[in-house]
Amino acid sequence: MKSWLWLVPVLPLAGALANGVLLRDRLGKKAVAVLACGLVGLACLLSFAAIGSYLASPEYAAREPYEQVLYDWIPAGLLGIEGGVFRDFTVEMGFQLDPLSAVMLFVVTFVGFWIHVYSVGYMDHEPGFQRYFAYLNLFMGAMLLLVLGNNYLVMFVGWEGVGLCSYLLIGFYYDQEFPPYAGRKAFITNRVGDFGFVIGLFALVAHFGTLDYSEIVRAIEANPALVQAPYLLGLSVAGFIGLALFIGATGKSAQIPLHVWLPDAMAGPTPVSALIHAATMVTAGVYMVARSNAIYQLTSVSELVALVGAITAIFAATIAIAQDDIKKVLAYSTVSQLGYMFLAAGVGAYGVAVFHLMTHAFFKALLFLGSGSVIHAMGGEQDMRKMGGLKEHLPWTYRTFLIGTVAIAGIPPLAGFFSKDGILAAAFVDHKTLWAIGLVTAGLTACYMFRLLYMTFHGEFRGSSEQQHHLHESPAVMTVPLVVLAVGAVTSGWVGLPPLGEVDLHWLNHFLSPVIAQVGEHGEHHASVALELALMAISVLVAVAGILAARALWGKDRGLTAEDALAARFVGLRRLLANKYWVDELYDATVIRGTWASARGLFAFDSRFIDGVLVNGSRHLTVALSLLSGFFDKYFVDGLVNLTGLTMRLGSRSFRSLQTGAVSQYALVMALGVVILLGFYVAMRLGGWGL
């Protein structure tokens, strides 16, 4: 079955082609839904089969990836001569199945399929139903290209593809004012990161002469010292490439300083936020860093990755606690959790980073879909201040949402606990400060998530009576995906139980180990069992403390009284957090206004100097010069010519009368001439002058 791997990305792309182009406006809603969900479901089953057959294959036993090369995509020809041998640079269109892409494949297709199903219910009343599913399928195809590619360029195609779909889907409600703006913001912010990514790719080609994952890893494993040689900007080769790629990752995965687009991306439909801006696309950066672990293991740039991740985690968590928009809270929560993943990747725990990626995909998709169900019931209302007491009206949504909240808060035995604990334990080994930041973030996470839960589902209903009248549980097509994802949010953590002493229960780490390159020092120094247990206890205690704080402030039917009292007491802090540290305003004042100002300056330079002085000036100069040379031509050169002609005319006037053309006149002249000559002769003779 694994030879059918290529079909996995192709099926959703075919769906996008059918719904977006070929059968546009020709299908009913039901047919659109069946086509879109069916193809993604088929891709999902196919990918499970492919993973299954890979696990049973000799390649897996030999810790090798299964590669499927479709064709030579870019045969660019000669790259250079190395050791007397000509080296060609060729990029293949190829797919690769190894433990890392298998995990990603599983998450993307499984979560993606259930979000497709959920969308059928959520988008039922919306215009643009078919357009929505065309975009969503296109996204799935691009995301699968991203995770399945066997080289960086195929990944880059997927990377850009998901960026495009993200832009299209954020701006889905294009007739409103804000969504298109948010889409542009996301696209342009991502472009900044992509610039770094492309530089990284250039450096990879320049240094390794290939973009193929396996070849790069082989080259690094063969000679790790080579990539630690000094390169550019005072960095080593690995450092430069790592930094450039990480800039790409900060864009795609919304890390400081390029995190600003993700909260605004919530302008898109909620299932999109769940699929693209929580579960899959935004984790592409983490996937890419994990994929490039051979490079990051050999450079201190990974410290920067960890630091950025930790700071983003706590920064976004503090913002999340002061947001009133339900999706904004979840968006900042996503930014924060992505920070966790980068923290893990930065401290070298790539397996744990991917583990958190997976568990997060389940519970964050669940939370977003739950919030979508709430918004659906509230008739589009997203402000939590107008919600409250929804648990009676939305029992299934409440139950699943509660599971998701507990999972993200880090309470055992739900998924979030294991992955978050893994990250904190990995950070604790060498980075005590980052561990402390992560721990505080864990407490904040529990606190803001339970604040969300209390404000939304508990207490009195605070919306209008019309909204209250309209409250209803979502249809089964929406609640079933919630239940499925809730099961995932409970169980997905069990593949990565903490390693207690000698007994390695972390199946996922073990599974992913072939992907982690064997370079540099490799001390998997485990903490002792006692320390391990102590760390777990501390993180659980912090999470419980966060939950209790939330319960004290927002629980017990308190409504908003405690929050308002708190906000009144710390006006400055509240404003700081509610306004997201004014980062948007800062960027607006510096980058955006700076760009505008420089654009205006350049425009003025263009219109005044280039157009005014250079272009128009040279025009005036040319006109003046040509007038001058015109005068010279007309009066001097032409004058000379006319003078010649005049001289000739005057000179020849006297000869004209000689040639009349009348033959008889010529004959007369001739005869006269003869007579004269004859006369002269005769006279000479008669005069005695000889002759």
Return residues touching another protein (CB under 8 A). Answer: 652, 655-656, 658-664, 667-668, 671
Q: For the CB of residue 679, give the shortest distance to another protein in the complex, in Å.
A: 14
- 242's tokens: 């790592």
- Within 10 angstroms of residue 602's Cβ, the number of other Cβ atoms is 11
* Minimum CB–partner distance for residue 617 and another protein (Å): 56
Give per-residue burial for 348-378: e unless 16+ CB within 10 Å, then b: bbbbbbbbbbbbbbbbbbbbbbbbbbbbbbb
Q: State which residue, 465 or 657, has the beta carbon closest to another protein.
A: 657
Minimum distance from CB of 650 to another protein (Å)?
Answer: 15
- Considering beta carbons, is residue 465 or 652 the nearer one to another protein? 652
Do residues 494 and 362 touch, judged by C-beta distance below 8 A? no
Beta carbons within 8 Å of 590's beta carbon, 6+ residues apart: none
Residue 668 or 682: the one with the smaller Cβ distance to another protein is: 668
Quick check: 285 and 339 in contact, CB under 8 A? no
Q: Are 257 and 315 in contact (CB under 8 A)?
A: no
Residue closest to 333 by CA, chosen among 426, 452, 423, 227: 452
Closer CB to another protein, 61 or 662, in the complex: 662
Identify the CA nearest to 108 among candidates 332, 309, 365, 331.
365
Cβ burial, residue 53 (10 Å; 0-12/13-18/19+) = middle
Q: Whole-number minimum distance, CB 688 to another protein, in Å?
A: 24
Between 229 and 678, CB nearer to another protein:
678
Find the shortest distance in angstroms from Cβ 622 to another protein.
47
Contact, 390 vs 398, CB < 8 A? yes
Query: Minimal distance in Å, beta carbon 674 to another protein?
Result: 8
C-beta of 658: minimal distance to another protein in Å? 7
* DSSP category for residue 474: P
CB 649 to another protein: min, Å: 12
Smallest separation, CB 637 to another protein (Å): 29
DSSP per residue over 219-235, as a string? HHHH-HHHHTSB-STT-
Pairwise CA distance, residues 143 & 73, whole Å: 19
Question: 503 φ, ψ to 5°?
Answer: -80, 110
| Shortest distance (Å) from residue 671 CB to another protein | 5
| Cβ-based nearer residue to another protein, 234 or 661 | 661
For residue 261, the number of C-alpha atoms closer than 13 Å in the C-beta half-sphere is: 30
d(CA 577, CA 143): 33
Residue 8: count other Cβ atoms within 10 Å of its Cβ. 27
Could you tell me where the beta strands, DSSP code E, fall in 438-592? Answer: none
The rounded distance, in Å, linking the Cα atoms of 151 and 226 is 21
Residue with smaller CB distance to another protein, 537 or 676: 676
Secondary structure (3-state) at 154: helix
Instruction: Supply the minimum distance, in Å, between the C-beta of residue 663 and another protein.
Output: 5
Q: Rounded to an integer, what distance in angstroms lies between the CA atom of residue 328 and that of residue 202?
A: 36
DSSP classification of residue 202: H
Distance between start and end Cα atoms, the chain: 131
Fill in the amino acid letter for 642: N
Find, among 287, 377, 364, 286, the residue nearest to 332 by Cα. Answer: 364
Of the pair 640, 668, the CB lying nearest another protein is at 668
Residue with smaller CB distance to another protein, 465 or 659: 659
Minimum distance from residue 675 beta carbon to another protein (Å): 9
Shortest approach of another protein to residue 657 CB, angstroms?
9
**Is-contact 354 283, C-beta < 8 A?**
no
Based on CB atoms, which residue is closest to another protein, 617 or 673?
A: 673
Is residue 168 a contact partner of residue 131, using CB atoms and an 8 Å limit?
Answer: no
Q: Which residues are within 8 A (CB) of 101 and not within 5 positions of it... i.e. 6 or more apart? A: 65, 147, 148
Q: Which is nearer to another protein, 465 or 654 (CB)?
A: 654
Tokens standing for 472? 């209803």
Shortest approach of another protein to residue 616 CB, angstroms? 56
Residue 599: its H or E element? helix 593-604
Q: How far is the CB of 661 from another protein (least distance, A)?
A: 3
- Helix, strand, coil percentages (3-state) for the chain, rounded to 5, are 75, 5, 20
Query: Looking up tokens 């000509």, which residue turns up?
Result: 86
DSSP per position, 289-326:
HHHTHHHHTTSTHHHHHHHHHHHHHHHHHHHHTT--BH
Q: How far is the CB of 666 from another protein (least distance, A)?
A: 9
Cα separation, 371 vs 274, whole angstroms: 10
